[in-house]
Amino acid sequence: MTTVTLEAGAPIGASPPADCSIVTRGLTKQFKGGQVAVDALDLAVPRGSVYGFLGPNGSGKTTTIRMLLGLVTPTSGECEVLGEPMPRGVATALPRVGALVEGPAFYPYLSGEANLLRFDAADPTASGRTAKARVTRALERVGLSAAASKRYRAYSLGMRQRLAIAAALLGPRELLILDEPTNGLDPQGTREVRALVKEIAADGTTVFVSSHLLAEVEQMCTHAAIMRTGRLVAQGTIASLNGGLATRIRIETPDIADAARVLRGLGLTEVRTGADVSADLGGHAPERVNAELVAQGVAVRGLAVVRPSLEEVFVGLTGEGFDVDG
């Protein structure tokens, strides 16, 4: 899978990228009163990717999703979902899209299966004769077959979120859009949803995941876009985003001054001292650095290669912290 770059100024309708599930260009939403929630957004979501849509709360993520689904009309710009211009192509695109936006409401005294049957009945394109088979298949896909007859109120948080994803997967989907799917979950529920997202993507479905949890996106996604106050800061593969900042080496040693001298002698830059010694690793092999430290009499208690996190990428791009806790 490759990172897709849109050519500035090229109209979507003329030659949309064939390998993208979502494309936006200049997508903007301004509400009454002048608030700009989304400002000239250019997105390119490769088919088959798990695409993290990152930003602090209030950065325009949910508004963008609503525009992608045809629930909100853009003020200006264009967006395309599965090759269909939105909102004009809603009837063609949405049957191939599953979406979980702010969580569906389930009946607490009905079983998971009974709840899904009611969701399925609300779909005018679904045949009632095959409803049971669709619900059974959706429950199997999210690992809830054994809990199909259990009342929803007895479900754990992770099970409830998996049932919500099952509701989005009642039909065959080429694209799954999830808005904060791990929000409020305990660690076990978060692991369940993360594993499920990876399984769905492995089956060939593109998954678009909105989140304000950077560490979660790093573990789950292949690609990401970073939003800030309605504007796109960066997008690409996780590796390319992280690669925008230097990988550092950190040395734990009682010989701080000597270790710093050796690192500078090897040509490492941005050497910093404190409780330990660190430097930009550059193209140096960490084992070579370690060998040179030992050879020059530096007592090495520990050595770690520290790769930048998405939060550090965000801070590096904007100079601001990221609201990782909501």
**DSSP state letters, 295-308:** HTT---SEEEEEPP
Please give the residue range of the domain that contains residue 298.
248-307
Task: Please tell me whether residues 148 and 109 are part of one structural domain.
Answer: yes
- Please choose, from the candidates 151, 155, 156, 153, the residue with its C-alpha nearest in 3D space to the C-alpha of residue 114: 151
User: pLDDT tens-digit profile of 212-255?
Assistant: 877 788 888 999 998 888 899 888 888 778 766 667 899 999 99
Structure-model confidence comparison of residues 26 and 280, the more confident one: 26
Pair 221, 209: CB distance under 8 Å: yes
Q: Identify the DSSP state of 6.
A: P
Top-confidence residue, 154 or 18:
154
What confidence tier does 114 reach under pLDDT thresholds 50, 70, 90? Answer: very high
Contact 21, 83 (CB under 8 A): no
Instruction: Evaluate whether residue 231 is within a structural domain.
Output: yes
Domain shared by 62 and 167, yes or no: yes
For residues 254 and 155, state if they share a domain.
no
Q: What pLDDT does residue 11 have?
A: 43
Are 238 and 252 within one domain? Answer: no
Among the candidates 226, 242, 258, a domain finishes at: 242
Give the CA distances from residue 276 to residues 15, 82, 259, in Å, rounded to whole numbers and listed in that order: 54, 51, 9
Q: With bands split at pLDDT 50, 70 and 90, how would you rate the model's confidence at 40?
A: very high
Of residues 181 and 26, more confidence is placed in 26
Lowest-pLDDT range, 140-144, 148-152, 274-278, 305-309?
305-309
Average per-residue pLDDT in the chain?
84
What CATH number is associated with residue 225? 3.40.50.300
Residue 319 lies in a domain: no
209: which residues sit within 8 A by CB, 6+ positions away? 50, 51, 52, 53, 178, 181, 197, 217, 220, 221
d(CA 84, CA 230): 24
Does 8 fall in a domain? no
Q: What percent of the chain has pLDDT over 90?
A: 42
Which pLDDT value is given to residue 213?
A: 78
The verdict on residue 230 lying in a domain is yes
Q: Which two three-digit tokens encode residue 325?
A: 């806790």
Determine, yes or no, domain membership for 175: yes
Q: How far apart are CA 223 and CA 20, in angstroms?
A: 12
Which of these three, 201, 225, 242, is where a domain ends?
Answer: 242
**φ, ψ for residue 182, nearest 5 deg:** -110, 10
| Count of domains observed in the chain | 2
φ, ψ of residue 246 to 5 degrees: the values are -75, 140
**Pair (65, 142) in one structural domain:** yes
214 & 91 share domain: yes
For residue 283, tell me if it sits in a domain. Answer: yes
Question: Is residue 4 assigned to a domain?
Answer: no
pLDDT class for 10, splitting at 50, 70, 90? very low
One domain for residues 151 and 275: no
291 shares its domain with 206: no
Peptide bond between residue 87 and the one before it cis (omega within 30 degrees of 0) = yes
Q: Does residue 322 sit within a domain?
A: no
Residue 301 belongs to domain with CATH number? 3.30.70.100
229 and 284 co-located in one domain: no
List, for residues 143-175, the tens digit of each pLDDT value: 899 999 999 999 988 888 889 888 888 888 899
Tokens 């609201």: give the residue.
Answer: 323
Q: Which two tokens stand for residue 182?
A: 């791990």
Which secondary-structure segment (H or E) carries 180? none
Residues 73 and 190 in one domain: yes
Whether 117 and 223 share a structural domain: yes
Domain co-membership, 35 together with 181: yes
